């Protein structure tokens, strides 16, 4: 529906979004080494081994392709750095580039790393809860990025954000409308998608990550606002 381009919220504590750029770089490098130049068969094996497969995580299924390089609980983290295609990667990294620097600013470097990974784990567990027998690997940074979106909406609801609506119409609009609309789109997609079928987009992972980001930020909101108001 839209892509974010730029926001109006300056950094107040940190001078440089080191963690955000490191996460973006890791995702790009991982895609270049796993998905960009490999065959579909190789990519499927990588996604099955390093991605999070609900049926495997719950011990209901053996490895789908027989490639099992890490213990299943570890895939709750590793899946966050794999992507299925260029647009999957670019869209996630755009959201991360626009919104994550301010959340890193509010949390601080180390706490932001924990926050980001926890949101990704929460999104994966929400996906498992709703699709426990799924054999399709979950990959992508979307759940963790959704947590960042939830945090940004709570901390900076009045921030002005430039977006491309329908990928072609430039608009400058308040974050509460942009990100609130994004979340409602995820809910609408869940309600209108056949949950009995394997789907390409893990909507529940997005919702789980968003709710986790919102909840963690709400619990720490007073401390975060004090930190960024110095």
Q: Tell whether the model's pLDDT for residue 154 goes beyond 80.
A: yes
Phi-psi region of 108 (alpha: psi -120 to 50; beta: other; left: phi over 0): left
Task: Show the tokens assigned to 122.
Answer: 């929460």
Place of tokens 């942009």: 178
Closest CA to 73 of 88, 86, 61, 56: 56
Closest CA to 130 of 63, 76, 206: 206
**Strands 160-165, 2-7: pairing kind:** antiparallel
Mean pLDDT value of segment 201-222 = 96
**What tens digit of pLDDT does each residue of 62-113 get?**
766 656 788 899 999 999 999 988 999 999 999 999 999 999 999 999 999 9
Three-point CA angle 182, 131, 1, nearest 5°: 20
Instruction: Tell me how far the alpha carbon of residue 190 is from its chain's centroid.
Output: 17
Q: Which residue has the higher pLDDT, 71 or 118?
A: 118
- Dist. CA 177–CA 181, nearest whole Å: 6
Rounded alpha-carbon distances, angstroms, from residue 44 to 67, 80, 154, 221: 10, 16, 37, 41
Q: What domains can you pick out in the chain, each with its CATH number?
A: 2-228 (1.20.1540.10)
pLDDT score, position 199: 58
Q: 126, 36 in Cβ contact below 8 A?
A: no
């Amino acid at each position: 529906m839209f892509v974010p381009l730029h926001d109006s919220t300056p950094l107040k504590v940190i001078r440089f979004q080191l963690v955000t750029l490191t996460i973006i770089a890791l995702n790009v490098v991982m895609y270049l080494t796993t998905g960009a130049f490999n065959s579909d068969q190789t990519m499927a094996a990588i996604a099955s081994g390093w991605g999070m497969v609900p049926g495997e995580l719950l011990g209901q299924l053996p490895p789908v392709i027989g490639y099992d390089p890490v213990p299943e609980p570890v895939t709750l983290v590793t899946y966050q750095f794999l992507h299925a295609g260029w647009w999957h990667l670019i869209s996630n990294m755009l959201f991360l580039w626009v919104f994550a620097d301010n959340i890193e600013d509010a949390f601080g470097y180390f706490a932001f790393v924990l926050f980001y990974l926890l949101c990704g784990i929460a999104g994966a567990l929400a996906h498992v809860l709703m699709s426990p027998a799924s054999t399709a690997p979950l990959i992508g940074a979307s759940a963790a990025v959704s947590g960042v979106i939830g945090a940004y909406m709570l901390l900076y609801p009045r921030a002005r954000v430039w977006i491309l609506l329908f990928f072609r119409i430039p608009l400058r609009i308040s974050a509460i409308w942009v990100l609130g609309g994004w979340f409602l789109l995820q809910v609408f997609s869940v309600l209108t998608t056949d949950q009995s079928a394997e789907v390409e987009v893990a909507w529940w992972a997005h919702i789980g990550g968003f709710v986790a980001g919102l909840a963690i930020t709400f619990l720490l909101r007073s401390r975060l606002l004090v930190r960024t108001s110095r």
